[in-house]
């Protein structure tokens, strides 16, 4: 263990085992990670910070030979892991072990039930709940560089010190309001491996502009995007370093059949043509005669009539009113797409499940069936 001021910096195996022994006895602990991915496909884990009400430590995975003891406590389903905006941290853990931990509490998700803004940042959460203003001096630190100085370690530790305090306060507030159980389904979904697995066959869905293609052009894009994803994963390099999205789209549209035609694609580097040209041309030729995979149903949104669009506006107003009445951010109740689906008769939406149904879903159904009215009363919107 290296002495870094008052924060233990764990870079020796024995010290790691001691810290993990403490964590294994705790019912919960706060955790955050620092990582880089500018030059890699997979995020490079550079630092792990952990805290309970009684301890805090920064763990150095770049120096330690084996972080299995740490992963073991993180993946212990009996211990709650407290994170803020957990998706990126969970993605890192997924790539480390091919699975994601259960029993995760995301303070960003929980904040919605306390009336805080949608996707509230960690600094704003700490300011709102604890009255502490966190400095951002080291927000652009290259966490892969060693040694880290005392100020950097202190900055990293703050990400879990105040997270642990915020969690305790949020638990208390949610328990008092009877809303702690409301989070269960939302938090459980964070442990779905499908959220973090990047399947090459689905890579085309992340290409901006894919929805403008059809037929052979779409088939070619799908093949090119899958090839790029597989290559990026194998080489551990960013997708854009191989081929940018706009280049993929241009190849798909122009369907080059020769190295000369391929070389005329704007933005396609000559080195890429030299190294991968034959592969790319083969993919274009094969995919041009293949039927494209269909867009997922959720990508195809039905165009609403002006009257229907106005009705959704009213439904959004109802959702905002319900949120205000209950001190809840309306974003946690429903988004506009879900309201559109409900208007069109789709009942398979979160708004008609569990506590959301009791709070807002039944009211909206009443409005759509003509049993409830939305009107102005005393200068304010009311539902009768």
Residue from 11, 41, 60, 89 carrying the catalytic annotation:
89
**Active site residue: 11, 34, 106, 154, which one?**
34
User: Is residue 32 among the annotated active site residues?
Assistant: yes
For β-strands 28-36 and 44-52, DSSP reports them as antiparallel
User: Of residues 32, 60, 106, 154, which has the active-site annotation?
Assistant: 32
Q: Which of 159, 162, 229, 340 is catalytic?
A: 159
33 DSSP β-pair partners: 48
- Listed as own residue / partner, the contacts of 19-22 with beta carbons closer than 8 Å and 24 or more positions apart are 19/50, 19/55, 19/57, 19/59, 19/70, 20/69, 20/70, 20/72, 20/73, 22/52, 22/55
Q: Does 89 participate in catalysis according to the annotation?
A: yes
Distance of CA 42 to the CA centre of its chain: 15
Decide if 106 is catalytic.
Answer: no
- Of 41, 122, 155, 162, the catalytic one is 155
Say how many C-beta atoms besides its own lie within 10 A of residue 293's C-beta. Answer: 13
Active centre residues (catalytic) = 32, 34, 89, 155, 159
């Amino acid at each position: 263990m290296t002495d870094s001021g008052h924060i233990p910096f764990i870079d020796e195996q024995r010290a790691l085992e001691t810290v993990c022994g403490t964590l294994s006895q705790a019912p919960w602990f706060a955790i955050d990670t620092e990582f880089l991915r500018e030059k890699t496909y997979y995020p490079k884990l550079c630092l792990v910070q952990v805290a309970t009400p009684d301890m805090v430590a920064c763990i150095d995975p770049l120096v330690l030979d084996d972080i299995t003891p740490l992963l073991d406590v993180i993946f212990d389903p009996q211990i709650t892991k407290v994170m803020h905006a957990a998706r990126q941290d969970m993605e890192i853990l997924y790539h480390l072990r091919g699975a994601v931990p259960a029993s995760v509490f995301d303070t960003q998700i929980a904040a919605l039930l306390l009336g805080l803004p949608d996707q509230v940042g960690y600094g704003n959460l700490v300011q709102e709940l604890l009255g502490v203003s966190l400095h951002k001096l080291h927000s652009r630190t290259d966490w892969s560089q060693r040694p880290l100085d005392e100020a950097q370690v202190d900055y990293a530790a703050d990400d879990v010190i105040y997270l642990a305090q915020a969690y305790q306060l949020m638990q208390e507030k949610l328990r008092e309001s009877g809303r702690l159980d409301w989070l269960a389904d939302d938090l459980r979904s964070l442990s779905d491996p499908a959220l973090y697995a990047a399947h090459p066959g689905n890579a085309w869905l992340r290409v901006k502009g894919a929805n403008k293609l059809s037929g052979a052009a779409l088939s070619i894009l799908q093949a090119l995007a899958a090839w790029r994803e597989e290559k990026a994963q194998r080489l551990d390099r960013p997708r854009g370093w191989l081929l940018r999205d706009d280049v993929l789209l241009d190849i798909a549209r122009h369907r080059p059949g020769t190295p000369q035609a391929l070389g005329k694609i704007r933005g396609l580097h000559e080195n890429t043509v030299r190294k991968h040209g034959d592969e790319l041309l083969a993919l274009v030729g094969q995919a041009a005669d293949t039927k494209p995979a269909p867009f997922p149903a959720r990508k195809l949104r039905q165009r609403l009539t002006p009257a229907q669009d106005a009705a959704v506006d009213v439904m959004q107003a109802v959702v905002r009113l319900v949120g205000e009445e209950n001190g809840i951010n309306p974003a946690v109740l429903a988004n506009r797409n879900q309201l559109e689906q409900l208007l069109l008769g789709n009942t398979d939406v979160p708004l008609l499940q569990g506590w959301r149904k009791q709070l807002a879903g039944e009211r909206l159904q009443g409005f759509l069936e003509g049993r409830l009215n939305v009107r102005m009363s005393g200068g304010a919107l009311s539902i009768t």
